[in-house]
């Protein structure tokens, strides 16, 4: 019998679960979603401060995306309740985030809490893992030497000049890779980074100690999916090559493939995108003379739907690699 391919997807936020995890479930592959564990804003950040628990917002989104449970269970875990207002326009807490946070608070065991929720959400053939279970904050060093502490301030600059570029990013204190995540990297056939926020979602997954060695040892093909648009405070004026270079810098090894969109967007459409997401700036520049064996440019934009890129097109490209 043909062995199922193991695909490991790194990234947080809403994008990776919707764009990769949900559509990949339809194919005969084994999926591991690896979530960043450095959130410090919104409902997740509030729970983190109030109960001294790990930030579980991203991992809950991964769990819901890979769930095989009835619709009501997924809707329950996605449900927001309460009237408390958080930065980014969110109102109330997400039930799933509160549930896992309070379970960890009572049991003092995040791993055990995660296993219980996996069973409840009926995740059968796939798995969701934290990149680390060490409690730490993201720290960014700006081009002028200023230090920014906290994922929320890196994600949506409120106290610093968003035009200043990020020169370096690290965690404080240092963290170790979650053991099961190490195993997933070792067994992977394909490792996918992004799309998503570069410094507040994707690169945080590369920061735990030992991660560079894990990426050097794995036989998996390593693929980056580049965002279509740049984001204020994180990727101002970035090109496709800039995204790839930053991932390789923190990964400590080379990417095998870089997928990017080469569609032309008119100014009107860019304005519409900015209305929906004010943090977006402009289209990511496409560098000249990119190595066509490594850099794969395709028309990926979705005409409609929940994601920026056409999910089916993207998945077919990934599976062909």
Q: What is the pLDDT of residues 162-183, one digit of tens each?
A: 999 999 999 999 999 999 999 9
Average pLDDT of the chain to the nearest whole number: 93
pLDDT in tens, 235-270: 999 999 999 999 999 999 999 999 999 998 888 888
Dist CA 143 CA 233 (whole Å): 12
Contact between 125 and 32 under an 8 Å Cβ cutoff? The reply is no
CATH code for the part of the protein at 5-134+178-320: 3.40.50.10680
More confident call, 4 vs 51: 51
Predicted pLDDT at 319: 95
**Whether the Cβ atoms of residue 235 and residue 280 lie closer than 8 Å to each other:** no
Cβ neighbours of residue 114 closer than 8 Å, sequence gap 6 or more:
59, 100, 128, 130
Cβ of 269: how many Cβ atoms within 10 Å?
Answer: 13
Task: List CB contacts of 136: < 8 A, sequence separation 6 or more.
Answer: 37, 38, 171, 172, 173, 174, 175
What is the average pLDDT across 219-245?
A: 96
Strand pairing category for 137-142 and 166-172: antiparallel
DSSP string, 105-135: HHHS-HHHHHHHHHHHTT--S-EEEES--S-
Percent pLDDT > 90 in the chain is 81
First to last CA, the chain: 21
The pLDDT value given to residue 13: 77
120 CB neighbour count, 10 Å cutoff: 16
Domain extent listing, the chain: 5-134+178-320
Length of the chain: 321
Centre a 10 Å sphere on the Cβ of residue 294 and count the other Cβ atoms it contains.
Answer: 12
pLDDT at 1 over 90: no
Q: In what order do the strands lie in the sheet with 137-142?
A: 147-149, 137-142, 166-172
What average pLDDT does the segment 218-231 reach?
96
């Amino acid at each position: 019998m043909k062995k199922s391919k193991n695909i490991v997807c790194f990234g947080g936020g809403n994008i990776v679960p919707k764009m990769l995890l949900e559509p990949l479930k339809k194919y005969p592959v084994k999926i591991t979603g690896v979530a960043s564990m450095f959130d410090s804003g919104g409902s997740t950040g509030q729970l983190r401060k109030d109960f001294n628990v790990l930030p579980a917002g991203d991992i809950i989104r991964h769990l819901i995306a890979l769930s095989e449970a009835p619709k009501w269970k997924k809707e329950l875990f996605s449900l927001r309740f309460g009237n408390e207002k958080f930065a980014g326009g969110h109102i109330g807490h997400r039930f799933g985030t509160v549930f896992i946070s309070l379970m960890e608070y009572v049991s003092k065991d995040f791993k055990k809490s995660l296993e219980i929720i996996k069973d409840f959400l009926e995740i059968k053939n796939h798995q969701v893992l934290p990149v680390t279970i060490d409690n730490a904050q993201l720290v960014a060093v700006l081009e002028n030497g200023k230090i920014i502490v906290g994922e929320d301030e890196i994600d949506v600059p409120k106290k610093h000049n968003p035009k200043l570029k990020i020169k370096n990013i690290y965690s404080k204190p240092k963290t170790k890779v979650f053991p099961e995540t190490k195993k997933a990297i070792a067994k992977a056939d394909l490792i996918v980074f992004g799309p998503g926020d570069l410094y507040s979602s994707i690169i945080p997954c590369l920061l735990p100690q030992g991660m560079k060695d894990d990426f050097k040892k794995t036989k998996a093909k390593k693929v980056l999916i580049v965002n279509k648009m740049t984001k204020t405070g994180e990727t101002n004026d970035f090109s496709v090559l800039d995204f790839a270079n930053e991932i390789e810098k923190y990964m400590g090894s080379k990417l095998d493939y870089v997928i990017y969109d080469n569609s032309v967007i008119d100014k009107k459409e860019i304005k519409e995108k900015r209305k929906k997401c004010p943090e977006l700036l402009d289209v990511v520049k496409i560098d000249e003379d990119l190595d066509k064996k490594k850099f794969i440019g395709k028309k990926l934009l979705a005409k409609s739907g929940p994601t920026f890129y056409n999910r089916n097109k993207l998945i077919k490209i990934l599976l062909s690699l």
